[in-house]
Structure 1
Amino acid sequence: MRIVPLVLALLSASVLLVATPARAAEGETHREATTVELSAEASKAAVNDLATAVLYVERNGPNAAAVAREVNREIAAALEVARTRSDVKVQSGNTSTWPVYAQDGKGRITGWRMRSEIQLESRNLSAMSELVGELQSTLALGHINMQPAPETRRTAIDEATVDALRAFEQRAELIAGALGRKHRIAHLSVGHSGFQPPMPRMRAAAAMSAEVASAPLEGGESQVSVHVSGRIELVD
């Protein structure tokens, strides 16, 4: 019968031995890491080496079928001309037809108007300029837009990304060094943006003079920016 109290005493001692380190751990204090949020940015110029254009024909008349035949005939002729230029990609664009109402407010349809477009795309600016000038003998120019080709834009974004990351790391080192600390990156976010140069003014005239229509296209450049933001932890 004396053995039982002895066993209980040993078990109690074991619990105390295990619990003591736990209480000791609870008493320890941990200094929270100091964090700093910062950002950096870099830009690269991307050459506008891709030209896109929209040309259209618009006609109206009292008979919808007759208007459609005229518009379709002129669009077909323009597509035939454009397809002879291997450096220019051509495809049909939007086509729409709508009624023309009388001005007496009675809702009478007096005619029909139809508009049909073709879309051009080329990296050969000289070929694009020449074709647009030729097509303007029958079609009107909606607009021409200059922008970087997809691969040109990707290259500029990649280069700007490397520059932005280096700028972020340099700024992080500067901040940590000024505080006499080292650092490690805790979070990082990378994004990019870009803007197009102003789009040339849309021309409503059915045709332009040969001198203006055949003027060379100047691509220029678009700026592509990459933004890097994140958080660093200062360490000893």
Structure 2
Amino acid sequence: MKALTALRHALPVLALLAASPALAAADRQTTIELAAEASRPAANDLARATVFAEASGATPGELGKRVNGLIADGLKMARSYGNVRVQSGATHTHPVYGKGNRIEGWRMRSDLTLESTDAAALSELLGKLQASLGVANLSMLPAAETRRKAETEATLAALAAFRERAKVIADALGKPFRIRHLSVSSSGRPPVMPVMRAAAMVADAAPPPMPLEAGESLVSSTVSGQIELIE
């Protein structure tokens, strides 16, 4: 009975000793961190702009009438372009302080956001709106589907580059390899064309379209991860 009890106590130790070569082999595995990046161009086929009405006055009520009237006119004109999406933006009213930190007046600004895949139509509309509204934050960027396509192509290229780089490293060390984990991220920003507020044009003057140049955005994908050399 004592011999049986001693054997039971010895079994966990024997199992650990039997497993220790495998554990030691696992500890000896060489891991390598690496990353690869690829980029693909995406056509800037979506135009986006912010137009705004801004005014100063003695009272918030007076400002509201003026600014809201300008925005209402802008909305009406924008809605006449069926291929331009329009959305109300932020509205801010704040006091203007003078000497003695006393309120001398008020200032108000209200925005509209315009967006279209028809750059010519948006360009024409912006030209007309500049007669009474300011234009800001004008940008050309890829539409959602265009960006997704470029992002997919960039990701596939980055994955291929990662595997190729991993193979070069493993071959140089004379070892096969396996991928332990991967992380994929994408980036790419559209160019933003800041536009200063334009002076109101003469009412009977033909408003010229606002010049727009589409160009391309570069969409990048980065693959980073770890490979393990197989002994």
- TM-score past 0.5 threshold: yes
Stretches (4+) displaced over 4 A:
11-15, 17-24, 26-30, 208-213
- Aligned-partner residue type, residue 172 of structure 2: A
Relative to the length of structure 1, the TM-score reads: 0.82
1:187-226 to 2 correspondences below 5 Å: 187-197=181-191, 199-207=192-200, 213-226=208-221
The separation in 2 between residues aligned to 1:19 and 1:119, in whole angstroms, is: 71
Please provide the CA RMSD for this pair: 3.0
Larger displacement relative to structure 2 (52-61 or 24-33): 24-33
Relative to the length of structure 2, the TM-score reads: 0.84
The separation in 2 between residues aligned to 1:96 and 1:27, in whole angstroms, is: 70
1:113 lines up with 2:107 in the alignment = yes
The separation in 2 between residues aligned to 1:90 and 1:221, in whole angstroms, is: 24
Tell me which residue corresponds to 1:90: 86
Percent of residue pairs identical: 48
- Does the 8 A contact of 1:48 with 1:220 survive in 2? yes
- Aligned-partner residue type, residue 203 of structure 1: M
Q: Summarize the Cα distance change of 1:8–1:48 in structure 2 as closer, same or farther, 3 Å threshold.
A: closer
The separation in 2 between residues aligned to 1:221 and 1:39, in whole angstroms, is: 25
| Structure 1 residue ranges without an equivalent (≥5) | 1-6
The separation in 2 between residues aligned to 1:227 and 1:189, in whole angstroms, is: 8
Aligned counterpart for 1:163 among listed residues 151, 157, 172? 157
Tell me which residue corresponds to 1:3: none
Q: Secondary structure at the match of 2:193?
A: coil
- Does the 8 A contact of 2:131 with 2:207 survive in 1? no
Q: Deviation of residue 50 (structure 1)?
A: 1.2
- Does the 8 A contact of 2:130 with 2:198 survive in 1? no
The separation in 1 between residues aligned to 2:106 and 2:126, in whole angstroms, is: 27
For residues 105-153 of structure 1, the C-alpha deviation after alignment (integer angstroms, 9 at most, x for no partner) is: 1344333322222110111100100000011111111231111112221
Tell me which residue corresponds to 2:60: 64
- Which of 1 and 2 has greater Rg? 1
Q: Summarize the Cα distance change of 1:25–1:133 in structure 2 as closer, same or farther, 3 Å threshold.
A: same
The separation in 1 between residues aligned to 2:221 and 2:40, in whole angstroms, is: 9
Larger displacement relative to structure 2 (123-132 or 88-97): 88-97
Q: Summarize the Cα distance change of 1:234–1:70 in structure 2 as closer, same or farther, 3 Å threshold.
A: same
- Aligned-partner residue type, residue 177 of structure 1: D
Q: Deviation of residue 162 (structure 1)?
A: 0.5
- Does the 8 A contact of 2:126 with 2:210 survive in 1? no
| Structure 2 residue ranges without an equivalent (≥5) | none
Q: Summarize the Cα distance change of 1:206–1:58 in structure 2 as closer, same or farther, 3 Å threshold.
A: farther
Q: Summarize the Cα distance change of 1:72–1:137 in structure 2 as closer, same or farther, 3 Å threshold.
A: same
Q: Summarize the Cα distance change of 1:203–1:211 in structure 2 as closer, same or farther, 3 Å threshold.
A: farther
Aligned counterpart for 1:182 among listed residues 176, 183, 189? 176
- Aligned-partner residue type, residue 222 of structure 2: H
- Does the 8 A contact of 1:125 with 1:216 survive in 2? no
Q: Deviation of residue 23 (structure 1)?
A: 8.2
Tell me which residue corresponds to 1:234: 229
Larger displacement relative to structure 2 (76-85 or 53-62): 53-62
